[in-house]
Amino acid sequence: MSELPDGVKLAAVERKPPRPTATMTMTRDGVNGVEVLLGLRSETMAAFPGYWAFPGGGLSRVDTAAVEELPQLEGPEAVAVACILREMSEELGLSPSKNGLVAIPVAARNEIVADKKRYLPLAIKDTFPIERTAIRVLSHRITPPFGPIQFDNAFLHLHAGDAHTVPDIDLEPQTEFTEVLWATPQEILHRWSKYEMKVAPPVVTLLMEIERTLIRKQRDMNAAAEDISERQPGRRSILFAHGVEVIPIKTATIPPADHTNCYMVGDPEGDFVLVDPAAHLREDMEELANAVDRHKGSLIAMIFTHSHPDHVGDIGLLREAFDVPIWASEYTAKSVPCDRILEDGEVLQLGNQDWQVLITPGHHPGHVCLFGEAGIIAGDMVAGIGTILIPPHTGDMNVYIEQLQRLKALNAHLLFPSHGPVIALPSKVFDHYINHRSSRHQAVFDAVQSGKQSLADITEIAYADTPNAHPGLAMDQTLSHLMSHERAGTLKQQLDCWTVS
């Protein structure tokens, strides 16, 4: 993102209470031990596209009504259980019975896929069994604050017994999952650590908890689930990828974002760095310190992607908390006390991981990205929430677009932005940014070529397709486009008038 231009004020977005959701951790006894069911989410999904995740969804009025009408749903977390049974019927075509999982009738499932309100009338008619006695609540977790919406998710569990008794899953009627997978937690975590599959961050940490507990409980899943259910462990780490943990820091950035992502990057059991520790408040410093203390490796440096205020924390507090050097680009070192200048192309060896330094100007003259097997620590080149501003005087729109093209060519596994959640589909996001900014850049040139000369008139034409854009930001970004055209020699400014060169 960036600093707001002078005179531009944006109202902070008021956060609403977290939305209640439920997911099902379904397990079975396979040939090689306890297996967990994951589904590959369609790339068209708004949340976690292209990720492997648990089945589930948001609690609705249908689920509340089901609890009122179906006495067999009574018990703890009744609405969450009703939700997950409905979601299972739709996404998996399965329902738990006293004798294990059964496939629901195809016609009934098709009705539910077409309209979830049909679930309750069908359940009342005993079209399929409703059995909740084997369902446990493993934990409740509220999603981190860096997203536009927070969710309070109930992680439920059902052990389906022997693999031979579990019906095959037909994905044909639904559109959320493109594949399903039964695999042991060890297999999933191994493939995740090798960047062979993308697994939703809360799924990763719960699988780690399940694996730790299975070891203590001699691989007995029912005993492990009972143990986890009694403890109800909450979220400790947010693992975007193997070797990439995020700590959200409250910052004065551009709404709707109100946090900056600080990343712990490197070997989970070796050397690592803190990227953009933007903390100014004692409580955020404590969060950072706790995260560093949890890490099994050694903190060797702090890196700042650039010197915008929402990325640089209180240097005095940081020095006090972490007695390690500060690394940054030569430009950032002009305003941030720096112990090592990072150069484009150099490789940082962080334990058993290598991360290449990329100097990516455009948003900021000394902007730094890091590229490794896990993906790109992207700073403010892209955002998982909100937008990226290009400051007219220190940024350069042409250079920014060129650097986006450079980053796209790396074919990164994931993108880790400074604001918002992890980005699962890098090429798609880069294409959107490049096409959007290039189109706007051309629109600004076309407005001048058509005879518009003042910044206000050019902005009105260039942003005609975005009537809800904040007028101050639209004018600021139009000026950024104009100045980039001027640097490229395609437009020129005389007094307050812009013309074609």
pLDDT in tens, 297-324: 999 999 999 999 999 999 999 999 999 9
HSE value, Cβ hemisphere, 13 Å, CA-based, for 304: 31
Return the H-helix or E-strand segment holding 224: helix 221-231
Q: Give the Å distances, CA to CA, from 202 to 113, 151, 154, 156, 266.
A: 26, 12, 11, 13, 20
DSSP element (H, E) containing 97: strand 94-97
- Domain chopping of the chain, boundaries: 19-231, 239-424, 441-500
Q: Does domain 19-231 have CATH number 3.30.2130.10?
A: no
Residues 480 and 390 sit within 8 Å (Cβ to Cβ): yes
CA dihedral 258, 259, 260, 266 (to 10 degrees): -160
Q: What is the pLDDT of residue 199?
A: 97
Give the separation between CA 65 and CA 48, rounded to whole angstroms.
Answer: 29
Total number of residues shown for the chain:
501
406 C-beta neighbours (distance < 10 Å), count: 15
Q: How far is it, in rounded angstroms, from Cα 53 to Cα 204?
A: 9
- The structure tokens listed for 439 are 């189109």
Give, for all 501 residues of the chain, the pLDDT tens digit.
666 777 777 766 677 899 999 999 999 999 999 999 999 999 999 889 999 999 999 999 999 999 999 999 999 899 999 999 999 999 999 999 999 999 999 999 999 999 999 999 999 999 999 999 999 999 999 999 888 789 999 999 999 999 999 999 999 999 999 999 999 999 999 999 999 999 999 999 999 999 999 999 999 999 999 999 999 998 889 999 999 999 999 998 888 888 999 999 999 999 999 999 999 988 999 999 999 999 999 999 999 999 999 999 999 999 999 999 999 999 999 999 999 999 999 999 999 999 999 999 999 999 999 999 999 999 999 999 988 999 999 999 999 999 999 999 999 999 999 999 999 999 999 999 999 999 999 999 999 999 999 999 999 999 999 989 999 999 999 999 999 999 999 999 999 999 999
In this chain, the answer to whether the domains covering 19-231 and 441-500 adopt an identical fold is no
Give the pairing of strands 136-142 and 56-58.
unpaired
Q: In whole angstroms, how far apart are CA 97 and each of 25, 131, 154, 166?
A: 17, 5, 21, 12
CA dihedral 272, 276, 278, 284 (to 10 degrees): -30
Please list, in sequence order, all residues whose beta carbon lies within 8 angstroms of the beta carbon of residue 99, skipping any fewer than 6 positions away: none
CA distances from 402 to 305, 323, 367, 432 (A): 18, 37, 14, 14
Predicted local confidence at residue 106, as pLDDT: 96
CA distances from 418 to 111, 254, 335, 448 (A): 42, 12, 20, 34
Q: Is 203 in contact with 53 (CB distance < 8 Å)?
A: yes
Give me the pLDDT at residue 5, please.
76
Extract the tokens encoding 343: 């150069």
Q: In the chain, what is the greatest distance between 2 CA atoms, to the nearest angstrom?
A: 82
* Topology annotation, domain 441-500: Arc Repressor Mutant, subunit A (1.10.10)
Do the Cβ atoms of 427 and 392 come closer than 8 Å?
A: no
Give residue 377's pLDDT: 98
**Which pLDDT does position 256 carry in this prediction?**
84
**H or E element in which residue 427 lies:** helix 426-449
Q: What is the pLDDT of residue 257?
A: 87
Neighbours of 28 (CB within 10 A): 21
Output the pLDDT for position 12: 66
> Span 239-424: which CATH code?
3.60.15.10
Percent of the chain with pLDDT over 90: 91
